[in-house]
């Protein structure tokens, strides 16, 4: 977009009804991308304590995916028993990710730091999710290695003893 004087840009914005920009006291501001995301994810970005089970599953899933730069397949492989929680971070242990080194599977550790705002803090969302839902054990053998038992982090919304599928995680983080 080319640089325009504020008057000309304000006129164009009023005509186009562009939602990415806003005018306040004669100044034009570009709304941040997280605000645009919040419009579509507003349900899960509310206060974490008051979310329904479905929303509470989606919120930490989405925040962990964004903050940890994780794919749905890696989130599905997080072992909740080996996850370490501290006051300002969580360390997620990913069992048997798709990546390999020297043709052998690796174990991956992802550390996610806390955010000062509790509404978008992945650590706070994880702690609430862990208290309400993830504390119920969900041991399953790994798909690729039957000897490896994984206690999946994210559970089915109806039966907490069943893990959520990769496809469901993928839908939650879109």
| Number of domains present in the structure of the chain | 2
Same domain, 20 and 77: no
Q: Which pLDDT band holds residue 1 (cuts at 50, 70, 90)? A: very low
Same domain, 20 and 55: no
Same domain, 19 and 51: no
Same domain, 9 and 65: no
Query: The whole model's pTM is what?
Result: 0.71
Same domain, 10 and 53: no
Q: Which pLDDT band holds residue 25 (cuts at 50, 70, 90)? A: low
Same domain, 46 and 108: yes
Same domain, 6 and 52: no
Burial of 170 (0-12, 13-18, 19+ CB in 10 A): middle
User: In the beta sheet, which residues pair with residue 23?
Assistant: 28
What is the reported pLDDT for 39? 42
Same domain, 98 and 14: no
Q: Which pLDDT band holds residue 23 (cuts at 50, 70, 90)? A: low
- Return the ∠ at Cα 35 (arms to 30 and 41), rounded to 5°: 155
Tell me the average pLDDT across 125-133.
Answer: 93
Can you state the angle between helices 53-68 and 166-173, rounded to 10 degrees? 80
How far is CA 118 from its chain centroid?
Answer: 14
Same domain, 67 and 138: yes
Which range of residues forms the domain containing residue 18? 1-31
Q: CB of 144 within 8 A of CB of 64? A: no
Same domain, 126 and 67: yes
Same domain, 121 and 53: yes
CATH number assigned to the domain comprising residue 44: 3.90.15
Judged by average pLDDT, the poorest of 79-83, 90-94, 131-135, 146-150 is: 146-150
Average predicted confidence (pLDDT) for the chain: 77
By DSSP bridging, strand 21-24 and strand 139-141 are unpaired
């Amino acid at each position: 977009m080319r640089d325009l004087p504020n008057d000309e840009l304000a006129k164009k914005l009023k005509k186009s009804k562009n939602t990415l920009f806003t005018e306040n006291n004669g100044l034009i501001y570009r709304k941040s991308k997280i605000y645009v995301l919040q419009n579509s994810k507003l349900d899960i970005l509310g206060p974490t304590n008051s979310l329904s089970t479905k929303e509470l599953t989606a919120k930490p899933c989405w925040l962990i995916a964004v903050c940890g730069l994780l794919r749905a397949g890696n989130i599905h492989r997080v072992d909740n028993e080996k996850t370490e929680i501290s006051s300002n971070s969580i360390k997620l242990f990913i069992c048997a990710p798709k990546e390999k080194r020297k043709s052998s599977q690796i174990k991956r550790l992802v550390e996610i730091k806390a955010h000062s705002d509790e509404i978008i803090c992945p650590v706070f969302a994880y702690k609430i999710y862990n208290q309400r839902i993830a504390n119920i054990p969900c041991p399953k053998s790994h798909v690729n290695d039957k000897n490896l038992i994984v206690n999946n982090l994210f559970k089915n919304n109806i039966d907490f003893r069943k893990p959520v599928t990769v496809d469901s995680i993928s839908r939650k983080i879109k």
